[in-house]
């Protein structure tokens, strides 16, 4: 039987600056899916950019190459990832200051 795990990396957390999610050790898994549920809480003009990062040790991080489309309003999205190292997380960037977002981010992994 295949093993799987669903982890909540961020739960309705408010962001007004660049951030990284809590990292998750995923070395045993062969595939992963990030699910994001994001809403913009203000009238700011900035968009939220999310990208997947990988790490061999949970300390030093590299961009994996998977990105989300820029988020400007309320949105639900997912991205699939495979061939990753021992750790995964998302990096969020607000390209213009003054915007406020609330996000819930889940990571589902399975072998």
Provide the pLDDT for residue 85. Answer: 83
Q: Decide: pTM greater than 0.75.
A: yes
The single residue listed with the structure tokens 């990208």 is: 51
Q: Give me the phi and psi of 69, to 5 degrees please.
A: -60, 145
Residue 102 and residue 85: Cα distance in Å, rounded? 28
Return the ∠ at Cα 71 (arms to 100 and 29), rounded to 5°. 105
Query: Confidence band (pLDDT; 50, 70, 90) for 99?
Result: confident
- From CA 104, how far away is CA 108, in angstroms rounded? 13
> Which has the minimum average pLDDT: 3-7, 42-46, 49-53, 59-63?
42-46
What are the sequence ranges of the domains in the chain?
4-110
Q: Which CATH superfamily is domain 4-110 in?
A: Galactose-binding domain-like (2.60.120.260)
Lowest mean per-residue pLDDT among 11-20, 44-53, 60-69, 74-83? 44-53
pLDDT (average), residues 46-66: 96
Mean pLDDT of 9-18: 95
The pLDDT assigned to 23 comes to: 97
Q: What is the pLDDT of residue 37?
A: 97
């Amino acid at each position: 039987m295949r093993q799987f795990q669903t982890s909540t990396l961020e739960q309705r957390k408010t962001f007004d600056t660049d951030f990284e999610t809590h990292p998750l050790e995923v070395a045993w898994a062969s595939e992963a899916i990030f699910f994001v549920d994001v809403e913009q809480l203000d009238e700011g003009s900035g968009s939220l950019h999310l990208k997947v990062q990988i790490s061999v040790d949970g300390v030093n991080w590299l961009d994996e190459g998977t990105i989300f489309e820029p988020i400007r309003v309320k949105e639900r999205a997912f991205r699939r990832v495979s061939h990753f190292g021992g750790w995964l997380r998302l990096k969020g960037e607000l390209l213009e200051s003054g915007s406020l977002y609330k996000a819930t981010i889940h990571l589902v992994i399975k072998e």
